[in-house]
């Protein structure tokens, strides 16, 4: 994380820039130049992927911003790589009364057009969620009508038992056995635990013999 305090022409409200590159081999020159030209006197930077949340520059930027400030980026992708992340970021900044400007997309929330654009993006995201939910519900209804249960298909018990026998009577690792049999390791270990529980003596019967769970 670095902070650039290069002087810029006075603007009101204050404009603060944020620049991000994904790897140390990249540089901030082009972003810094564009942000200074846009009137940013202070620029926070990060060398982090856009999908990561542990960005120190972004964290210090949020601590620095005050209501009425304007956050400027060269492109929306500098903020985050996902639409959901972008909408969450926009909501956070809006709640703090911080304006947003993206130079490439020509978005400026100090204008009605910019606010409308972000609102449209939020509406698109909501439509996507509802369409996915509708498709999932239709798929479950179709499967039920054909007599097929919903959810993931159950792993063949015969495969699990074969894997258990191999695991307990050979030197092969669980990863090798699961791959050869065609089952998941998590499912296999859950089956092992359940098998051990079923075979474990738990109490004495009326005649003193052992009963099994």
> DSSP alpha helices (H): ranges in 53-111?
56-64, 83-95
Q: Cβ(31)–Cβ(55) under 8 Å?
A: no
pLDDT in tens, 45-82: 999 876 666 789 999 999 999 999 999 999 888 888 77
Is the domain spanning 2-111 CATH 3.40.50.1390? The answer is: yes
pLDDT value at residue 52: 66
Residue 49 among the catalytic residues? no
User: Which of 12, 22, 111, 195 is flagged as catalytic?
Assistant: 22
Q: How far is CA 36 from the centre of its chain?
A: 31
Structural domain spans, the chain: 2-111, 157-199
The predicted-structure confidence for 105-145, as pLDDT tens digits, reads as follows 888 887 777 777 767 765 666 666 677 788 888 877 777 77
pLDDT of residue 126: 66
Q: How far apart are CA 66 and CA 69, in angstroms?
A: 6
d(CA 132, CA 128): 6
What pTM value is reported for the model? 0.53
pLDDT of 189 higher than 70: yes
Across residues 155-181, what is the average pLDDT?
A: 85
Q: Which residues contact 24 (CB under 8 A, 6 or more apart)?
A: 47
More confident residue, 204 or 86: 86
Q: Quick: pLDDT tens for 97-107.
A: 999 998 988 88
Q: Is 184 left (phi over 0), alpha (psi -120 to 50) or beta?
A: beta
């Amino acid at each position: 994380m670095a902070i650039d305090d290069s002087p810029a022409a006075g603007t009101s409200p204050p404009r603060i820039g944020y620049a991000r590159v994904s790897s140390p081999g990249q540089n901030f020159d082009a972003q810094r130049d564009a942000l200074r030209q846009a009137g940013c006197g202070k620029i926070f930077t990060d060398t982090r992927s856009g999908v990561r949340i542990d960005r120190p520059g972004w964290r210090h930027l949020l601590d620095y911003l005050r209501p009425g400030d304007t956050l400027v980026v060269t492109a929306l992708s500098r903020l985050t790589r996902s639409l959901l992340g972008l909408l969450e970021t926009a909501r956070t900044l809006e709640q703090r009364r911080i304006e947003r400007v993206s130079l490439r997309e020509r978005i400026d929330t100090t204008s009605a057009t910019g606010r409308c654009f972000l609102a449209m993006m939020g509406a698109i995201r909501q439509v996507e969620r509802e369409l996915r939910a509708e498709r999932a519900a239709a798929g479950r209804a179709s499967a039920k009508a054909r007599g097929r249960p919903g959810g993931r298909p159950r792993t063949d018990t015969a495969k699990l038992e074969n894997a258990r026998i191999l695991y307990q009577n050979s030197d092969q690792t669980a990863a090798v056995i699961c791959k050869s049999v065609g089952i998941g390791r998590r499912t296999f270990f859950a089956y092992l635990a359940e098998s051990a529980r079923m075979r474990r003596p738990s109490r004495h019967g009326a005649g003193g013999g052992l009963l099994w769970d």
